[in-house]
Amino acid sequence: MNAKRKGNIAAFIRDILRIPLGAYSLSDDKHQRADHLRRARRELLLLLATYGNAHGASIRPGIQSLMSGLGWSRSHVHRTTRDLQTLRFLKDDGLHEETGCRMWSISPNVCHEFRTQDTVGVSRVALPSVTSSSFSVTSSGLMVPDLEVDPKIDHTAVSLDGNKDPLVEVWNYFHQETDQPTFYTFTSTRRRQAEKRFTEALKKVKDGDPARAVFLMKCAIDAIRDSKWHNGKNPEKQNYVSWESVFGTAEKFEEWLRRS
């Protein structure tokens, strides 16, 4: 990526960052997860912007690239993409004739709207400094901007930097994705279960990569989160989502991986 292209993308990303976080809201967002969903939509939009031109067009990353770049499951990427389409931030431009990849474009009109006016009742986000050199290459080869948008930890991202406990990362992801109450804690028993499943996950992934093992555990969490039956649509109308249901035994873990 040459310096001119970096600068053009940086300018477009600045436009995206002018969009208030509240603009990523949908009417059917659950209150407990609304903030998490808004941030996830913005994160995907920012990553997609790095694949396009300065006008937000010609975006055609593969699904595997997005999954790797964000540390998300396939269903999470597809669901968040649909949300961005509903919000009119993202437009499906069909399939590329030569590669067959899905092509997307980010609406410049939407970005311009928030460049000229505020959303009612929502304050603008503070803009970070983005320069032509503020890009880095991830382990998966993605060119992404180094944007310090919000200091809050995003537990959807697989980023093991030596200071983060992967088991705590998985627990936080489970807690947030399944809307658990605050009194539902990471007890010593649950941590032991996490240790066993993490060890098993390391054996299932290529080169025993810890980041891939965390991603695998998150896939199992995504599967139970998306199970209507476990979330109350059963004859008893009971919620059967629990940590133990996913990671209590090796067999349960593997079953949820099979469903993911």
* pLDDT per position as a tens digit, 166-214: 898 899 889 888 888 878 888 889 999 999 999 999 999 888 888 889 9
Is residue 146 scored above 80 in pLDDT? no
Q: What is the pLDDT of residue 260?
A: 83
DSSP SS3 for 59? strand
Under the phi-then-psi rule, with left for phi > 0, alpha for psi from -120 to 50, and beta for the rest, what region is 88?
Answer: left
Contact 87, 23 (CB under 8 A): yes
pLDDT band at 234 (very low <50, low <70, confident <90, very high): confident
For residue 251, CA distances in Å to 79, 248, 257 come to 27, 8, 10
Average pLDDT for the chain: 76
Contact 108, 53 (CB under 8 A): no
Contact 46, 9 (CB under 8 A): no
For the chain, the domains span 3-145, 166-259
Q: How many other CB atoms sit within 10 Å of the CB of residue 103?
A: 18
**Interstrand relation of 102-106 and 90-95 (parallel, antiparallel or unpaired):** antiparallel
Q: What is the pLDDT of residue 163?
A: 46
Contact 101, 60 (CB under 8 A): yes
Query: Which residues, at least 6 apart from 260, have a Cβ–Cβ distance to it below 8 Å?
Result: 73, 75, 219, 220, 222, 223
Q: Which of the pair, 182 or 119, is modelled with greater confidence?
A: 182
CB-count burial class (<10 Å; 0-12, 13-18, 19+) for 252: middle
Q: What is the pLDDT of residue 225?
A: 92
Which of 8-12, 28-32, 116-120, 218-222 reaches the highest mean pLDDT?
Answer: 218-222
d(Cα 202, Cα 31) in Å, to the nearest integer? 35
Contact 76, 156 (CB under 8 A): yes
CATH number attached to the domain at 3-145: 1.10.10.10
pLDDT band at 8 (very low <50, low <70, confident <90, very high): low
For residue 44, CA distances in Å to 21, 206, 210 come to 13, 25, 23
d(Cα 143, Cα 140) in Å, to the nearest integer? 9
Mean pLDDT of 33-40: 86
